[in-house]
Amino acid sequence: MNFDQAPMLVIWEVTQACDLACVHCRASAQSDRHPRELTTEQGYRLLDEIRSFGDASAAAKPAHGGGHPFQPGEPPLMVFTGGDPLKRPDLFELLRYSASIGLRTNVTPSATPLLTAKAIDGFQQAGVSRMAISLDGPDAATHDEFRGIPGTFDRAMFALRHARDIGLDTQFQTTVTKRNMARLEEMAEIVQEVRSKMWSLFFLIVTGRALENDDLTAEEYEKVFEFMYQLSKTAPFGVKTTEAMHYRRYVAQRAKAEHGITENESAKGVAWRTSGVSDGKGFVFVSHTGEVFPSGFLPLSGGNVLRDRLTDVYRNSELFRDLRDTDHRGGKCGLCEYRKICGGSRSRAYAFTGDYQAEDPRCTYQPHLAEALAG
Ligand code: SF4
């Protein structure tokens, strides 16, 4: 993969407005829209620019196939997020435009009264390929406490079941914390019941309203990784992480142990499946006011789409180039044999230390080289 030229995933935070008040909200969402949100016209221009990444990736990549989730020449996956995207009256126009220019288009609405059957039907009619819904507990008591508003669990379940019934693919999203880590098995049953295509587990970055006390210890991360790894062997849906790049190291270690393959072969297998995406490497986040961030959890801007070209910021800004160079990692991540497929969460390193190249403080792994240097 040549992520120096084009990302695999572009996330646009179309608004920070949202009627929920979730304890871990990245955006510290407000109920009102920001006056400097990108306009509809600016949104169209942004989508055109995102589409043009596909042309560059075609030129920059060898023409190999083989069923990889991201093919050369394919434009990035386009995700409309918030806040709550449904707070924007022009959302359906923007979604329609995005799909019409050939962007695979996903949307992540909040489970509020705005998420009606009509809205979900509207996503499908606009050409949305997948709707992502967050559920952080297997029942109303757990989930609603986390989301801050009673009734949110029932609304999320309604949305997932309605999408299933009309044939719109869904992604099930869970923020893993101390509050729900013991309930993940029950949640897996719900993912299966609503027939989501993917269960995406978010690991906390202590920013916005996210509380440090809710975050797992490094050892607890490993326990959740084991659960995910075993689940992924039999589940009828995909299982992936956000901001837990070291799950790839875990999978590579397990593959090596179980199949008797070399470290290099197991790492290559994981790289092929996950593409080695991380903050600023295969991934770019455009904020509601057009700032270009390497991730929604890493508040450092490489430029602004109102004055810079997104393609230029992604390819050439010092920040993005530095993030893509895993040899620049500090601490044990810089010495780690898994740094090319993992490299640690840059957002978590920044949230903890103010240095985005520092080691990921939630990883238990001790690299061989670090051990050798210490010994
Ligand atoms: S030490 Fe860093 S690069 Fe190595 S597995 Fe842990 S987080 Fe990943």
- Classify domain 9-326 at the CATH class level: alpha beta
Ligand 1 geometric centre to CA of 263 (Å): 14
- In the prediction, which pLDDT does 30 show? 79
Q: How far does residue 331's CA lie from ligand 1's centre (Å)?
A: 10
* pTM for this model (two decimals): 0.90
Which own/partner contact pairs does 225-230 have at CB distance under 8 Å and 24+ positions apart?
A: 225/250, 225/251, 226/250, 227/184, 227/185, 228/201, 229/254
- Say how far apart CA 213 and CA 117 lie, in whole Å: 37
**CB–CB of 3/281 below 8 Å?**
yes
In the structure, which protein residues have their CB atom closer than 6 angstroms to any atom of ligand 1?
Answer: 246, 249, 332-333, 336, 338-339, 342-344, 359-360, 363, 365, 367
pLDDT, tens digit (0-9, with 9 covering 90-100), for 95-148: 999 999 999 999 999 999 999 999 999 999 999 999 999 999 999 988 888 777
The CA angle 317-323-327, to the nearest 5 degrees, is 125
The model's confidence at residue 65, banded by pLDDT at 50, 70 and 90, is very low
Query: Which residue has 């607890």 as its token pair?
Result: 220
Query: Per residue in 227-243, is it b (16+ CB within 10 Å) or e — as a string?
Result: bbbebeeeeebebbbbb
Average pLDDT over residues 346-352: 94
Residue 249 CA to ligand 1 center (angstroms) comes to: 7
* Spatial distance between the Cα atoms of 76 and 72, rounded to a whole number of angstroms: 10
Which mutation among 222, 241, 245, 246 tests ligand 1's pocket best, with the greatest number of atoms within 8 A of CB?
246
Is pLDDT above 50 for 196? yes
The whole-angstrom separation of Cα 317 and Cα 314 is 6
Residue reference for tokens 């450092």: 300
Please tell me the distance between residue 195's alpha carbon and the centre of ligand 1 in angstroms.
Answer: 33
The ligand 1 atom nearest the CA atom of 342? 8
Q: What is the pLDDT of residue 59?
A: 45
**Domains in the chain: boundaries:** 9-326
Residue 303 sits at the vertex; the CA angle it makes with 301 and 308, to the nearest 5 degrees, is 165
